[in-house]
Amino acid sequence: MFPLCLGGNVFGWTIDEQRSFEVLDAYFEAGGNFIDTADIYGRRGPDGVGASERIIGRWIAARGNREKLVIATKVGMSPDIPGLSAVSIEESVDGSLQRLGIDMIDLYYAHQDDPDTPLEETLGAFHALIQGGKISHAGASNYSAERLEQALRIGERDGMAAYVALQPHYNLLERDYESELAGVCERHGLACIPYFGLARGFLTGKYRRDGEQVDSPRAAGVRESYFNERGFAVLDALDGIASAHGTSVAAVSLAWLVAQPTVLAPIASATSPEQLRDLLDSTRLELAPDEIERLSSAAHSLPT
C-alpha cells in the first residue's frame, strides 16, 4: 500500500474534471495506488453530488488501471440515502459501484456512526456485500472508541463483517484519536487512515500570522480553529524541520502522521500536480525520533 492516500474530496468541488485527471495522473505516475472518496463528494458542475466518484470512475476507464488501484469510498451521510440500515447500504453501494464504473469496492467505510441502526444490522449488511463480491473490506469513520469497540466485538463474535480500518480526524493539532481510539485500533489490528491530515490546509504552511488571505472555502474555519499560539508554535517547529530536510511543511506534517503507531497512510488532497509534489515528498521523508518529539511537544506546549 502506498504510504499516502489521495483524497478525492476536491474532485468536482474545488477542481474540475480536467484538473482532477491531472492530479490523479501525477499521483499514479509517482507510484500512488490508494484513492479515497465518498458518495457525497462533489458539489459543482454537471455531475453534482457524487461527482468525485464519477470523475474517478471516468479516469479509471480512460487509463485502464483498475487492477493497480485500491479504491475506498463511503456510505451513510447522503441526505438522499441516510444512515447505515441494511436497505441504505444495499442501495448506496450499487450507486457507488455504478458511478465508479467498477465491480468491487476495495474498502467501504461507514462514513459516520448511525446510533439509530443496530450495529448487528450494519455489520450484517457489510458482511452480505463481502459475500456477494461487491466490497472486499469494510471500515469505519467518525466512530467513538466505545462504539467502535462494540462493533468489533460483535463482528468477531457473530461472524459478521469486521472493520479492518478506521478513518479518524487526526493530525498534529487534532490529537483526540490518541486518547482512546488508538488503543482500540492497536488491540484489534485496525489500520488508521487519518483524514484532514493537514488540518484543512493549515499544516501546509500557507496560512501565516500576517500572511495574505488564502482563497479557500475552508479558510474561515481554518482561521477560527488554528489561528492561535498553539497553531503557530507548531508551524514554527515545522518550518525548522522542513528547512533542515529541504522539503515542505506539508511533507513534514504528513511524515509525522506516518510515524505514529497504527497509522497506515494519511489522506491528503491536492488541487494541482505542483501541490501534489509537496505531499509526495512525505513518502520519502523519515523523521528522526527527536524531530517527532519536537513536533509532538510543540502541539502540546501551549493552549489554544
Cell of 68: 493497480
pLDDT at position 303 is 54
Instruction: Please state, in angstroms and rounded to a whole number, the distance separating the CA atoms of residues 254 and 257.
Output: 5
Contact (CB, 8 A) for 130 and 161: yes
Instruction: Please state, in angstroms and rounded to a whole number, the distance separating the CA atoms of residues 288 and 239.
Output: 15
- The SS3 of residue 71 is strand
Cell of 5: 492516500
Per-residue pLDDT 10s for the chain (304 aa) are: 899 999 999 999 999 999 999 999 999 999 999 999 999 999 766 778 899 999 999 999 999 999 999 999 999 999 999 999 999 999 999 999 999 999 999 999 999 999 999 999 999 999 999 999 999 999 999 999 999 999 999 998 888 899 999 999 999 999 999 999 999 999 999 999 999 999 999 999 888 887 667 777 777 778 888 989 999 999 999 999 999 999 999 999 999 999 999 999 999 999 999 999 999 999 999 999 999 999 999 987 555 5
Contact (CB, 8 A) for 95 and 75: no
pLDDT at position 221 is 78
Contact (CB, 8 A) for 164 and 149: no
**86-100 vs 119-131: helix crossing angle, rounded to 10:** 40
Q: What is the DSSP letter of 36?
A: E
pLDDT at position 139 is 98
pLDDT at position 282 is 97
Question: Residues with Cβ < 8 Å from 31, sequence gap 6 or more?
Answer: 2, 283
Report the number of secondary-structure helices (H) and strands (E) in the chain: 11, 8
Cell of 259: 510515524
Please choose, from the candidates 62, 71, 66, the residue with its C-alpha nearest in 3D space to the C-alpha of residue 22.
62
Q: Is residue 41 among the annotated active site residues?
A: yes
Q: Where are the alpha helices (DSSP H) in 74-178?
A: 86-100, 119-131, 145-158
Please choose, from the candidates 172, 178, 119, 175, the residue with its C-alpha nearest in 3D space to the C-alpha of residue 145.
178
Determine phi and psi for 82, rounding to 5 degrees.
-80, 160
Catalytic residue among 27, 41, 170, 195: 41
Contact (CB, 8 A) for 252 and 204: no
Cell of 67: 487492477
Instruction: Please state, in angstroms and rounded to a whole number, the distance separating the CA atoms of residues 43 and 48.
Output: 5
CATH 3.20.20.100 fits 5-167, yes or no: yes
